[in-house]
Amino acid sequence: MPKNSFEQPIKREEPPIEEMEKKLDKAEKMVEEVKERWKDKIEEFEMVEKPVKELKKLCKENKEKIEKKEWVFQFFSFLSSLPLPETPPSFLERISNKFLKEFDWENFKGGKYLEGNLGLFLSAFLNKNIENYVLSQKKKGIKEEDIEPIEVRLKVKELPVVLGYLGYKNPKKLHLIIEGNCSYQIGECMQGGEIIVKGDCGVWIGLGMRNGKIIVEGNCGDEVGMRMKGGKLDIRGEVKSFGRSAFYSDNQGTIIWKGTKIWEKGNWTKEGKEMKEKGEIPV
């Protein structure tokens, strides 16, 4: 065999250009998929994890106040003045439920007024963000009556305490659905919107409400509708007692009990009057 036969260059066949382009497209697609996954994780952190962390930090910093009894109006004003995280309304439900699930219950264990003050804290957070949402919509030229309400479902069944004061000063564009039992003063001083309780409630439901609608699918405790001035209160289960002031003439709202409208615009309805005369309405 000639010597130079070993020195011949080895010819390599290059893959067709079309095949190379396909491989390149596939690699670019994989990179984009990885970017998209990381984008979702970054969004999850920025929009959910970060605000939850901020809420937990605020609770820790204000632990003493959250555990003790305060005048409701003053305490709510204090909570509203805190640097509560601002977030797009579409994330409010996820943030609220994650915050409740991850709340440091052990550290706050034994706080006598925790269930009420924590409910006020969550209400302050929701109200602030709904107010910001309404303002942003108005700046876009959208009339208030055309602004879509935001629905938030609170999952409270598995919590170690039964929360009170949820929906305090509930704003017009918040539809709050509470999945589980509640404690006292749900919807106090309600300004509008809707609260649906898929469970039982404690005392003073709808205390001083001005507008909006409260639906309780279960039972209620004492003084339901006390100092109510307007709105609609629909109790579908048993009521231990209604507040006498719920049936004063300055209550221009509506009260429905077990499917029967008993009060409307400052007066008993025909059915309500008959029930009252028979002693069927607990007051």
pLDDT: which is higher, 121 or 3: 121
Residue 26: predicted pLDDT = 74
pLDDT digits (tens, 9 = 90+) for 130-180: 999 999 999 999 999 999 999 999 999 999 999 999 999 999 999 999 999
**pLDDT for 22:** 72
Domain count, the chain: 1
Return d(Cα 268, Cα 262) in angstroms, integer.
6
Q: Helix, strand, coil: what percent of the chain each, to 5?
A: 45, 15, 40
Within a domain: 194: no
DSSP-assigned letter for residue 145: G
| Domain assignment present for 27 | yes
Instruction: Extract the tokens encoding 1.
Output: 């065999």
Q: What is the pLDDT of residue 15?
A: 61
The pLDDT, as a whole number, for residue 46 is 78
Examine residue 250 and state whether it is found in any structural domain, yes or no: no
Choose between 283 and 30: higher pLDDT: 283
Within a domain: residue 107? Answer: yes
Q: What domain range includes position 38?
A: 20-149
Residue 220 lies in a domain: no
Q: What proportion of the chain, given as a percentage, has pLDDT over 70?
A: 88
Take residue 228 and report the two structure tokens written for it.
């109510």
- The per-residue pLDDT for 119 is 97
Q: What's the pTM?
A: 0.85
Q: Is residue 174 domain-resident? A: no
Beta carbons within 8 Å of 149's beta carbon, 6+ residues apart: 172, 173, 174, 175, 193, 194
Range name among 12-26, 40-54, 74-88 with the lowest pLDDT average: 12-26
Mean pLDDT of 226-239: 98
pLDDT at 34: 58
Question: Does residue 116 sit within a domain?
Answer: yes
Residue 36 lies in a domain: yes
- Considering the chain, what percentage of its residues have pLDDT values greater than 90? 78
